[in-house]
Structure 1
Amino acid sequence: MKNPPPRRPSATRILDQEDLNFLLTNRVPRALLTRFMGWFSKIEHPLVAALSIRIWRLFADLDLSEAREREFRSMHACFTRELKPGARTIDTDPTVLCSPCDAIVGACGPLDGITALQAKGAPYPLTDLLGDAGHVEACRAGHYVTLRLKSSMYHRFHAPADLRVEHVTYFSGDTWNVNPAALKRVEKLFCKNERAVIKARLEGSGALLTLVPVAAILVASIRLHWLDTLLHAGYRGPPQIPAHASFAKGQEMGWFEHGSTIIVFVPPGFALCPGVEDGSPIRMGQALLRRIDETGSPLEPPRLTA
């Protein structure tokens, strides 16, 4: 007889009910709660940190066994923890773009022209997400992958390939939760939330790669290593930020203050790797997208003739 599945914390089972989940995580003063969490999470006190992390475990499957540090001076330090060396393996195939983060794969696949899905039956136009017509056209008919970082996951994100960052566009916005319950109910949610559009070029081919970190409730703060400022609701700098930063495949690019989402866009010439589908887990460094030939099929070795 099979062993019964482990019992999940009661708080987690309650939040699995979509209607209640949406009510508790969205019908609240989101901006105020996010600012409070930003302040509270940075309190450096052993007792506050330990108690906060213990409560966090009631609502999430938090696993710290791979963390570089075993003790944290604040909840923020736990949110933004680094991993032990060697905890992730980077796919070295030069034709493959690896996942920039640990995540649950959300909506993904070929774009319908310049339209993507945030959930089944919930489309959004790239024009509203990226804000630049030329950038949108460069993505037309390409592929996209939505990567949702649960609150308990590793929150840092890395370069999917050797690349050069050319530009960042920062959009101040709302802080809707980005979980499935909200994605089904809030139209164009990704286009409403705070986000950074990172425009990059792949080394060698020069192909466009677009990464869109989307902040959410309790997050609303994105750190990019090549900028000397934190992007959050209090940011008052220019929304258009030229950039000249190079990253090797797997090198850390930045982090969220909490769980959120990264959307990856590539132009025609790429396809999803096997196993990348809505609902599948993926770890930073695993194969996400791969190059394809002009017919849309993998290259095959030539057949020998008699």
Structure 2
Amino acid sequence: MTVKNLIEALTEQEDINFLLTNRIPRAALTRFMGWFSKIENPLVRDASIACWRLFSDLDLSEAKKTSFKSLHDCFTRELRPGLRPADPDPAVVASPSDGIIGAFGTIADGELYQIKGAPYSLRDLLGDSELVEQHRNGRFVTLRLTSSMYHRFHAPQDGRILKVSFIHGDVWNVNPIALKRIERLFCKNERAVIRTRLKNGEAFTLVPVAAILVASIRLHALDLVLNAGTRGPADYLCDVDVQKGDELGWFEHGSTIVLLAPGHFDFADNVKEGSRILAGQALLRNTTS
């Protein structure tokens, strides 16, 4: 058995996986990785990327660059132009990122779920009563990004970013094992609530949720990196038009995006729990178009 196979066998054991990825000093390790990943030393970079390959299915063949300054530079890599075109149908909501489809469905009077049998409330997730009312009986879908995936995310539809609220919190792992064990996990972790309006004026909201290790979210609309070190007001007013497919920012570690859409949107045929989706592929469809 190879070292990689041994690691995979161990991490497939739920108790061991949960201990290794959660029962550690999460905040301290996250701060350390934020510093370590930005070291621009060839030996540190090469050893870090080699270790990353050992623990994951990292594939850099789509990357725009062939060499990187640091682990962080590799993690937040751009792709070659044209590899993630947004679905051109104006009625289609495109996936904002590469990811694994988690829970999805109809929001039931302000309640949704992180996995089956594990509900949480919009109020706890968003912290904004007005926004809760706008999504009370809408649609939701969660996309989980693993560490090896492309970590930039894009506008799923044409619209306007009105406001971003950053909510401080913990940095639990967001894998399915943790979601089964930690109630309301998305409501406990650091996250950004990106409030947007579609062209017809309806609310469409993205909630990037940070996770263990770097746990930072870069948003171009604010020209900021939001993380535990963010100080001052947590609400940022915006007035930024975006077109479907425009890059909105990136995660600095694998995490999750929760999308909240109007209730008259239906899920695309390829939306199935546990299936993989690429940024730009169809996620939802506006049935009134």
Fold match by TM threshold 0.5? yes
Letter of the aligned partner of 2:83 in structure 1? A
The corresponding residue for 1:3 is none
The corresponding residue for 1:288 is 283
The corresponding residue for 1:4 is none
Describe the SS at the equivalent of 1:230: strand
1:178 aligns to 2:174 (yes or no): yes
The corresponding residue for 2:42 is 46
What pairs with 1:111-260 in structure 2 (closer than 5 Å)? 111-203=107-199, 205-260=200-255
Paired residues of 2:4 and 2:55 also in contact (CA < 8 A): no
1:84 aligns to 2:80 (yes or no): yes
**How far did 1:37 drift?**
0.3
**How far did 1:8 drift?**
6.1
Instruction: Give distance in 2, aligned partners of 1:275 and 1:8.
Output: 31
**How far did 1:228 drift?**
2.9
Paired residues of 1:104 and 1:149 also in contact (CA < 8 A): yes
C-alpha distance after superposition, 1:261-296 (max 9, x if no partner): 000001221111112021010000000011124xxx
**How far did 1:134 drift?**
1.0
Mark the runs of 5 or more structure 1 residues left unpaired by the alignment.
Answer: 1-6, 294-298, 300-306
TM-score by structure 1 length?
Answer: 0.92
Q: 1:20 aligns with which of 6, 16, 20?
A: 16
Paired residues of 1:213 and 1:262 also in contact (CA < 8 A): yes
Instruction: Give distance in 1, aligned partners of 2:257 and 2:201.
Output: 21
Describe the SS at the equivalent of 2:162: strand
Q: 1:71 aligns with which of 64, 67, 72?
A: 67
Instruction: Give distance in 2, aligned partners of 1:164 and 1:91.
Output: 19
Paired residues of 1:118 and 1:124 also in contact (CA < 8 A): yes
Letter of the aligned partner of 1:116 in structure 2? L
Larger-gyration structure (1/2): 1
**How far did 1:19 drift?**
1.4
Letter of the aligned partner of 1:90 in structure 2? A
C-alpha distance after superposition, 1:165-185 (max 9, x if no partner): 001111010000000000000
The corresponding residue for 1:59 is 55
The corresponding residue for 2:102 is 106
Describe the SS at the equivalent of 1:70: coil
Describe the SS at the equivalent of 1:151: coil
Letter of the aligned partner of 2:64 in structure 1? R
C-alpha distance after superposition, 1:38-88 (max 9, x if no partner): 000000011111110000111110010000011111000011000001111
Mark the runs of 5 or more structure 2 residues left unpaired by the alignment.
Answer: none
Letter of the aligned partner of 2:210 in structure 1? A
Structure 1 segments (4+ residues) deviating >4 Å = none
Paired residues of 2:26 and 2:212 also in contact (CA < 8 A): yes
TM-score by structure 2 length?
Answer: 0.97
Instruction: Give distance in 1, aligned partners of 2:157 and 2:134.
Output: 19
**How far did 1:196 drift?**
0.3
**How many residues are treated as equivalent by the alignment?**
288
1:97 aligns to 2:74 (yes or no): no
The corresponding residue for 1:303 is none
**How far did 1:214 drift?**
0.2
C-alpha distance after superposition, 1:196-218 (max 9, x if no partner): 00000112x12211000000001
The corresponding residue for 1:272 is 267
Describe the SS at the equivalent of 1:227: coil
Describe the SS at the equivalent of 1:90: coil
Sequence identity, in percent? Answer: 60
C-alpha distance after superposition, 1:202-244 (max 9, x if no partner): 12x1221100000000132100001132100010021111111
Instruction: Give distance in 1, aligned partners of 2:150 and 2:223.
Output: 22
Instruction: Give distance in 1, aligned partners of 2:198 and 2:210.
Output: 25
